[in-house]
A and B are shown apart, each in its own frame.
Chain A
Amino acid sequence: MNLNILVNNQPLTAEKGQTILEVLNKNGIKVPTLCHIKDMLPSGACRICLVEQRKTGKLVPSCSQPVEEGMDIITNSPKVNEARKTIIELLLSNHPDDCLYCSRNLNCELQTLSNNYHVRERQVRGVKNNHHLDLSSASIVRDPAKCILCGRCVRVCEETMGISAIDFINRGSNSVVGPAFNKGLNTSSCVNCGQCIVVCPTGALTEKSHIPELLEALNDPKKIVIVQHAPSISVSLAEEFGMETGKDINGIMNAALRKIGFDRVFDTSFSADLTIMEESAELIHRIVNGGVLPMITSCCPGWVKFAEEFYPEFLPHLSTCKSPQQMLGAIIKTHYATTTGINSEDIFSVSIMPCTAKKFEGQRAEMTSKGISNIDAVLTTRELAELIKLYEIDLHNIEPELADSPLGLRSSAGKLFASTGGVMEAAIRTAHYKLTGKELVKFKINEIRGTHGIKEATIKIGDLDLNVAVTSGLQNAKDLLAQVKEGRMDLHFIEIMACPGGCIGGGGQPINSDENALKARMKSIYSIDERESIKVSHKNPEIIDLYNEFLGKPLEEMSHHLLHTTYEERDVLK
């Protein structure tokens, strides 16, 4: 049923059940929001989205007020603007005045609002709460002093990720968002996914920066600084520099990394191919030998920690394969070091990831060999952008370059890891070849592409009907695992990514990426797969060489030792 309403004297039609905000957004009318998250139930906490009803003169929050027939709304009356300005002034009343020193300077919703609503002086002086900086997590820094209590992080952690590591503590002006008992994040069930960071309007949640350690290594003449970049970085970095969303700037990024001073530039998509070689062999091994099924992917460190905390009974289902980051890290400090005559202790191994949980993964005890970490620093997409800005590199005016070889060439299957369903698609391509000796007729598996939370497909491989499921967003994973727990037996292989959309929607990606950004990045990844000629991991010549020269065969002794890992149940505050 259509409703007729008036907005700023302009007639609009709306559907019954829509909120005022939905109607306004649909018609291109901007209203500021803070606590609102698209596609979630409104919380109505911040009141910044209020609009005036002309007939009554009353202000109503547009995010939670349903439209009614004949509504007459003004979105920018003096009354509305004054009320919004007051809300901002109140939010600023106990906010630290250190914008210039804040990592979210110029990228802060509170700052933007304050500017848009002409707040020029402190009107209200509130009591500052004495909150401590929480540096306990390997991935996430919490600064409650900068928190405006919008609750977006709390809701994402609960509703999207199904974790609830943090919640509101205390009441009124003493409120603070934090883990149970207001302890450090490291004691909580936080899986380090960083989804809270990308929704935070201010600098209250940020990644733990590894830039200082990196700069030290870059300026140390003894250190050979090697960098690898994850499949999704080349399609999300462009946005940070005002380029078209989703644009693939792989070559430009390689060139920029060399200009910064990295001695070698490798591509994590190469080791994604390596992961596929091992993981598909493991899948076949499990199917043929009656191993634990369904096998579940293990490249996402957020999901791995989640499983260790909440689903220890599923740990035998996890593939023992290390993630591509850790596989390449292990290869760099062993085989690569030996063959190039570099002392592995002189190598500083850096990875650029779309992910904050990778910082945690890099520090796991299992990820060292002979006491040396395989990965020394992990930078998010955002930190890479900061680094490029620090070195004053003009991405618009440099020539693209190729990654270094070996360890730099990839198939488009490895690149697919960036998106939800990509690991599955790449694994199926190689598993099909290994089981039947023939390539798939059609590489593209439409059922497991796209942004849906849970996707399923059945793929015919010879006589085998391989049943697979793909899920992203840990709440979706919970729903799927509940089915398996209840006795669902048909699935052979499950891909789980913690972040909605997979790595292209990771917690290390540009702040406030919306659904359109996610789709643009995904499209870019698919078009790379479309146009490139090596579409399967097992045809990547550098992968073939690596097995011939060093690893032997997948799952054999050397691979097993270097490329596989173990998991353990974790006792945290759940």
Chain B
Amino acid sequence: MLKEIDIILDEHEGAAREDLIPILQEIQENQGYISENAIVKVGDYLNLPTSKIYGVATFYNQFRFEPKGKHHIQVCRGTACHVLGSSTVLDQLEKHLKTKADQTTRDGMFSIEVVACIGACGLAPVICVDGEFYAKVTSDSIKEIVETYRNKID
């Protein structure tokens, strides 16, 4: 894993502080999240303090700091979904999985991400699991959806 970060950094030879965000994006793309090690490495490479990099990274919603779960659930909190109760959906999901938005369950099975708008307002409220969309979800239906993923055999 760490080697891959080095490879990404090597591709950015001569990079400076303005390249920080693209580098972080590539690392997240590759690793699924931004680890502490990644931040330290980027800091060494760009000669930037880790506090600064962590500050920039936490400013943006797109970066996550925990590894994704085996199944990644995106909950849309856009306007249309909000009007049709997506905050309850998120609430119920957090309770059911005993974890919080932007975090991963302890068994590493599920992670929740809040997204601003998923672009499927006609189907609100929407969640998306591993790239698969689920339309007009309810407090009950999300539990079923989650359980089918839990029992899924690869």
| B-binding residues in A (CB < 8 A) | 158, 163-171, 178-182, 188-189, 573-574
Residue among A170, A178, A180, A573 with the highest chain B CB neighbour number at 10 A: A180
Residues on A with C-beta less than 8 A from B36 are 181
Contact A573 to B59, CB < 8 A, known contacts A180-B39, A181-B36: no
- Measured CB to CB, the nearest residue on chain A to B60 is A171
- The tally of residues in B whose CB lies under 8 Å from a CB in A reads 14
Cross-chain contact A181 with B54 (CB below 8 angstroms)? yes
| A-binding residues in B (CB < 8 A) | 36, 39-40, 43, 49-55, 58-60
Prevailing SS type, chain B contact patch: helix
Which of A170, A171, A180 lies in contact with B51, CB distance below 8 A?
A: A180
Residues on A with C-beta less than 8 A from B58 are 169-171
How many angstroms from the CA of A2 to the CA of B18 in the assembled complex? Answer: 38
Q: How far is the CB of A182 from chain B (nearest CB, A)?
A: 8
Question: Once A and B bind, how many residue pairs between them come within 8 Å at the CB atom?
Answer: 44
Cross-chain contact A574 with B49 (CB below 8 angstroms)? yes
Cross-chain contact A171 with B49 (CB below 8 angstroms)? no
Q: How far is the CB of A206 from chain B (nearest CB, A)?
A: 20
Residues on A with C-beta less than 8 A from B60 are 171
- Measured CB to CB, the nearest residue on chain B to A163 is B49
Cross-chain contact A164 with B49 (CB below 8 angstroms)? yes
Question: 20 other contacts beyond A180-B51, A180-B54, with CB at 8 A cut-off?
Answer: A163-B49, A164-B51, A165-B51, A167-B49, A167-B52, A167-B55, A168-B55, A169-B58, A171-B58, A171-B60, A178-B51, A180-B49, A180-B50, A180-B53, A181-B36, A181-B50, A182-B54, A573-B50, A574-B43, A574-B50
- Measured CB to CB, the nearest residue on chain B to A178 is B51
Which of B39, B43, B59 lies in contact with A170, CB distance below 8 A?
A: B59
Cross-chain contact B54 with A169 (CB below 8 angstroms)? yes
Residues on B with C-beta less than 8 A from A574 are 43, 49-50
Contact A189 to B49, CB < 8 A, known contacts A171-B59, A180-B39: yes
How many angstroms from the CA of A171 to the CA of B59 in the assembled complex? Answer: 5
Q: How far is the CB of A236 from chain B (nearest CB, A)?
A: 30
Q: How far is the CB of A520 from chain B (nearest CB, A)?
A: 34
30 contacts between A and B (CB under 8 A): A158-B49, A163-B49, A164-B51, A165-B49, A167-B49, A167-B51, A167-B52, A167-B55, A168-B55, A168-B59, A169-B55, A170-B58, A171-B58, A171-B60, A178-B51, A180-B39, A180-B49, A180-B50, A180-B51, A180-B54, A181-B39, A181-B54, A182-B54, A188-B51, A573-B40, A573-B50, A573-B51, A574-B43, A574-B49, A574-B50
Residues on B with C-beta less than 8 A from A167 are 49, 51-52, 54-55
How many angstroms from the CA of A167 to the CA of B58 in the assembled complex? Answer: 11
Residues on B with C-beta less than 8 A from A573 are 40, 50-51
How many angstroms from the CA of A119 to the CA of B50 in the assembled complex? Answer: 39
Residues on A with C-beta less than 8 A from B53 are 180
Residues on B with C-beta less than 8 A from A189 are 49
Residues on B with C-beta less than 8 A from A170 are 58-59
Residues on B with C-beta less than 8 A from A178 are 51
How many angstroms from the CA of A169 to the CA of B53 in the assembled complex? Answer: 10
Residue among B49, B53, B59 with the highest chain A CB neighbour number at 10 A: B49
Q: How far is the CB of B50 from chain A (nearest CB, A)?
A: 4
Cross-chain contact B51 with A166 (CB below 8 angstroms)? yes
Residues on A with C-beta less than 8 A from B54 are 167, 169, 180-182
Q: How far is the CB of B83 from chain A (nearest CB, A)?
A: 22
Residues on A with C-beta less than 8 A from B59 are 168, 170-171
How many angstroms from the CA of A182 to the CA of B36 in the assembled complex? Answer: 11
How many angstroms from the CA of A170 to the CA of B63 in the assembled complex? Answer: 11
Residue among B40, B52, B54 with the highest chain A CB neighbour number at 10 A: B54
Residues on B with C-beta less than 8 A from A180 are 39, 49-51, 53-54
How many angstroms from the CA of A189 to the CA of B50 in the assembled complex? Answer: 10
